[in-house]
Amino acid sequence: MDPEVLDVVCRVLAESHANSASDHSLGTAARDLVDAARGEIAALLNAGADEIVFTPGATEAVNLAIQGFLHYRRNDLPAGSGVVTTRVEHQSVLEAVERSRIDFGIEPRLIDCGPYGRVEPEAAAAVLDDRTVLMCVSHANGEIGTVNPIQQIGEVIKAHSQAVLMVDASQSGGYLPIDTAKVAADLLVVSSHKMHGPKGVAALFVRRGVCLDPVICGGGQEKGLWPGTLNQALVAGFGVAARLTRERRELRYQKVLALREVFWACVQNSGPEISINGHPDERLPGNLSITVEGVPASRLREIGSVAISAGSACSSRRREPSHVLRAIGLSERQAACTLRIGLSEDLSLEEVKSAGDALASEIRRLRGRSTSAKIGAR
């Protein structure tokens, strides 16, 4: 968390334990905190405060968007209705879309994204028809960093169908501008902890006129769409993170991009056959997905004080290869040799150089050991 965010979260935890849904004075004060945060997130997205719904995380927001929309439409879905998404979406999107087959008899259609994992507007247009009711696409891929042209995709969708567009912007909200007045997204997810806010809170933008059903039962909080007592400390922290993002997003982007290039230059010094996955240019500034031929990622997860992921944090404990890496054409062996590295603005140049050099040194050591073992085997 950003220090300013942490200060607010701690203060609200200490001073504001009332339920923001209560009508007494303490409840009103808590509600004021929530309303202020809702306004900050709305400002970040150029949306109305009444279009922002808080959830406990991006996965919950994705499920509310997809399942809530389809459940609301369940009685007037045309025969043969389809939901379109891509093969490289987050697992929460893919599983929610697959569940629509069971719950609503809807046929999921998956777009191939090519070797960069990028959705081109023409590919989206090719699978749309008058039976398409929903399309789900990420603004940026959390594993390989590729950024999709969501404004052009939205224009194509509205020109070729009556489908609702759901955009998962949970990975991109902290770095890329999102203007809901220009992007034809009807539903859009942003995540607090991806912009230096606290974990445990996210927001779903629901454009006016788009109707959802709740996916869990309870009280009438968040316009009845996500019942349950709000954690106003996390919500308040999210609001501060959204404000800070709006104020310094471009500076953050440039700093993190520069750090990434320094890290990548260090890693390249470890030798040949190291490649970046995802789009070379249209990508998140702090993301590096690299395949190190001949070195299993499991051997590189802990290097001194440097912690590196072999995939997305949500799926790194799964035994099968990343579905994203396989979808962009990597073999099972290559996927097993792929690292996912994230950098942020609170890192120093010295820390990044040290981490990059440590990784390069370990790659050289492991490759040397592998070569020695092959010579000994002969």
Distance, in Å, from the CA atom of 135 to the CA atom of 128, rounded to the nearest integer, reads 9
pTM metric for this prediction: 0.93
219-270 pLDDT, tens digit each: 889 999 999 999 999 999 999 999 999 999 999 999 999 999 999 999 998 8
Q: 112 vs 170, which has greater pLDDT?
A: 170
Length of the chain in terms of residues written: 378
10 is catalytic: no
351-375 pLDDT, tens digit each: 999 999 999 999 999 998 654 445 4
Distance, in Å, from the CA atom of 249 to the CA atom of 254, rounded to the nearest integer, reads 9
Which residues have C-beta within 8 Å of that of residue 269, sequence separation ≥ 6?
A: 357, 360
Measured from the Cβ of residue 247, the count of other Cβ atoms closer than 10 Å reads 10
pLDDT value for 135: 97
Measured from the Cβ of residue 185, the count of other Cβ atoms closer than 10 Å reads 28
Where do the CATH 3.90.1150.10 domains begin and end in the chain? 249-377
Measured from the Cβ of residue 14, the count of other Cβ atoms closer than 10 Å reads 9
- CATH assignment of 3-245, among 3.90.1660.10, 3.40.640.10, 3.40.50.720, 3.40.1830.10: 3.40.640.10
pLDDT value for 377: 47
3-state helix, strand, coil in the chain (%, to 5): 45, 15, 40
Q: Catalytic: which of 10, 136, 266, 314? A: 314
Q: 24 vs 144, which has greater pLDDT?
A: 144
Joined tokens for residue 377: 């085997």
Joined tokens for residue 3: 């220090």
CATH topology of domain 249-377: Aspartate Aminotransferase, domain 1 (3.90.1150)
Asked whether the predicted pLDDT for residue 314 surpasses 60, the reply is: no
Residue 283 in contact with residue 175, Cβ under 8 Å? no
57-79 pLDDT, tens digit each: 999 999 999 999 999 999 998 88
pLDDT value for 318: 57
110-141 pLDDT, tens digit each: 999 999 999 999 999 999 998 999 999 999 99
pLDDT band at 31 (very low <50, low <70, confident <90, very high): confident
Joined tokens for residue 165: 């567009």
Percent of the chain whose pLDDT exceeds 90: 80
pLDDT value for 278: 97
pLDDT band at 147 (very low <50, low <70, confident <90, very high): very high
Measured from the Cβ of residue 102, the count of other Cβ atoms closer than 10 Å reads 8
Q: Summarize the confidence of residues 278-307 as an average pLDDT.
A: 91
182-228 pLDDT, tens digit each: 999 999 999 999 999 999 999 999 999 999 999 999 988 999 999 99
Where do the CATH 3.40.640.10 domains begin and end in the chain? 3-245
pLDDT value for 374: 52
32-45 pLDDT, tens digit each: 999 999 999 999 99
Joined tokens for residue 270: 């470890």
